[in-house]
Amino acid sequence: MSYAAAAIEPAGSSVDVSQVHEASLFEAARAINTNRLTSERYTEVLLERTHKFASLNAFITVDDDKALSAARAADKARLAGKRRALPGLPIGVKDSYLTMDLPTSFGTAVARDFKPATDAKVVTAMKDAGCVVLGKNNLVEMSYGLTGLNGHYGQAKNPYNVLHITGGSSCGGAASVAARLVPAALGGDTVGSIRVPAALCGVVGFKPTPGRWSGSGVAPISNTLDTTGPIARRVSDCDLLDSIATGNYSSPQRLQASLKGTRLAVARHYYLDGADAEVEKVFNDTISKLKDAGASVLEVDLGTDFGPMVEEANWALFFHDTQPDVTAFLRDQKIPLTFEEIYDGLESHIKTRWQRFVLTTGAGYTEDVAYKDALFRRRPEVRRRFDSQVFSRADAIVFPTTLCAAPTIAEQWQYTVAGRTVNDVFLSRNTYPASFAGLPGISIPMGLTENGLPLGFELDASSGSDKALLTLARRVEQVIGFVRPPSVSA
């Protein structure tokens, strides 16, 4: 399949079976349903690639026999006349999701051999639609980080340049989709853990409105902020997975690339503040493309106090929720571990953060008064500003997903952007406002830096408008075009 052919929308999609690893979900499904490819052969190809590129550390667990057995069963069901949305299509699943056929470690060493008795609800939905779980993707331990480092299972590496990070915490999912090991993966996003790695690895990451996708059977950080969601190489594939996860299956139709009548908002004072010069240039070039396609772009201002207010209140919720929510999850899912055992086994840099911010005895622990202020005063105020300044006037607010390209692995904890020294948390600077406000957001590739590293373009919309956002993102994707695959995919 030529790379240009990948731009064809689902209704007319096709795939060269000799390059099946490049296929989108729709293209692979079409090839299987027209008997030009079997799930078994597709799964074999992807397993071969997964082992070939094992040094990316994209997976914690892969069981070839189970994946191939499931693929053969899918082929048998299809030949018997059973039509399903994901006819034996292999996907990756973040190792924070319970999976009854594969161990679930949560990225920890202490749960390395834990085998759940049930699947997470979203995994059940995907299996019912016909998918094959190729393996469990690597993640930052307990999903508590943004760089992709896991001291137990290895540093996930960026397929565009293995000396650079993937972003996190859904690091393995983004790396495996970018490297063409799977066409899609299931991830989780609390402050940017789907969108950040998707942006840095040149793929699409969708964070639904909280509650749209079930979090049942998925290890939490903060039930206030957490969402599960998809990572793929096409917005249409995220749209498909969204329809399956929500029980409203529908196949996205062909769209026109025109953006006539579309209204986009830009809040430069916040979302471009501190951006790397190259990121800002690529973003401005992207905005020009969208204007040329008919979109109107208006400048908005969320207030000079927006940044400090969101930052302080967001992290107050994030850290305060962790201990009670993880404790309840372990109890309710009958996982034979305690919070204390999880804490005792954490790798050092995460353990230090938990000790300071998560434990009630920590120096940085958020007391109940500050927590309630963040939840009941600041969060409604941030939502009010988005509604009054943005969504009353525009269909979405747009900005660079991250303010820099992927830092190197060697400098992942501290590096320089636009002349300022920043740390790993800087990667979520533009993504956590949507998390705090409970908005749906999607990151799509907008280009590559001169050094060949991907950059993401995010669109956030009003709470509950997920389908409209996905439709808009598909149109924007067609206008922007597609970044070239990483060299590792060859």
- Cβ neighbour number for residue 419 with a 10 Å cutoff: 8
What is the distance between the alpha carbons of residues 316 and 320, in angstroms, rounded to a whole number? 6
Type of residue numbered 212: R
480: its two tokens: 């922007």
3-state secondary structure 131-149: CEEEEEECCCHHHCCCCCC
Catalytic residue among 13, 96, 105, 193: 193
Domain segments of the chain: what residues? 3-489
Angle between helices 25-33 and 235-245 (to 10 degrees): 80
Instruction: Give the β-pairing of 132-137 and 59-62.
Output: antiparallel
Q: What is the pTM of this model?
A: 0.95
474 close to 453: Cβ distance less than 8 angstroms: no
Coil/strand/helix, residue 458 = strand
Instruction: Give residue 3's pLDDT.
Output: 25
CA distance 440 to 174: 19
Residues 6+ apart with CB under 8 A from 346: 108, 141, 142, 354
Q: Is 13 a catalytic residue?
A: no
Tokens of residue 468, six digits: 């409209």
Residues in contact with 157: Cβ distance below 8 Å, sequence separation at least 6, in sequence order: 55, 56, 57, 148, 163, 164, 165, 166, 175, 409
User: How many Å apart are CA 148 and CA 138, to the nearest integer?
Assistant: 8
Q: Which of 24, 39, 169, 243 is catalytic?
A: 169
Q: What is the pLDDT tens value at each position of the chain, 490 positions in all? A: 222 222 223 444 456 666 999 999 999 999 999 999 999 999 999 999 999 999 999 999 999 999 999 999 999 999 999 999 999 999 999 999 999 999 999 999 999 999 999 999 999 999 999 999 999 999 999 999 999 999 999 999 999 999 999 999 999 999 999 999 999 999 999 999 999 999 999 999 999 999 999 999 999 999 999 999 999 999 999 999 999 999 998 777 778 778 999 999 999 999 999 999 999 999 999 999 999 999 999 999 999 999 999 999 999 999 999 999 999 999 999 999 999 999 999 999 999 999 999 999 999 999 999 999 999 999 999 999 999 999 999 999 999 999 999 999 999 999 999 999 999 999 999 999 999 999 999 999 999 999 999 999 999 999 999 999 999 999 999 999 999 999 874 4
Nearest by Cα to 294 from 240, 265, 239, 257 = 257
Instruction: Verify whether residue 193 is a known catalytic residue.
Output: yes
Nearest one of 253, 208, 255 to 231, comparing CA atoms? 208
Chain-centre distance for alpha carbon 30: 25
Q: Domain spanning 3-489 has what CATH number?
A: 3.90.1300.10
d(CA 324, CA 320): 8
Task: Dig out the tokens for 113 from the structure.
Answer: 């051999």
Amino acid, res. 116? P
What pLDDT, on the 0 to 100 scale, is given for residue 12? 43
From CA 18, how far away is CA 41, in angstroms rounded?
11
Catalytic site residue 121?
no
| pLDDT given at position 253 | 75
- At 348 the pLDDT is 96
Long-range own/partner contacts, residues 302-305 (CB < 8 A, 24 or more apart): 302/267, 302/269, 302/270, 302/385, 302/386, 302/389, 302/390, 303/385, 304/269
- Candidate list 13, 24, 39, 94, residue with the active-site label: 94
Q: Specify the DSSP class assigned to residue 98.
A: -
Residue 72: the pLDDT is 98
Q: What integer pLDDT is reported at residue 9 of this predicted model?
A: 38
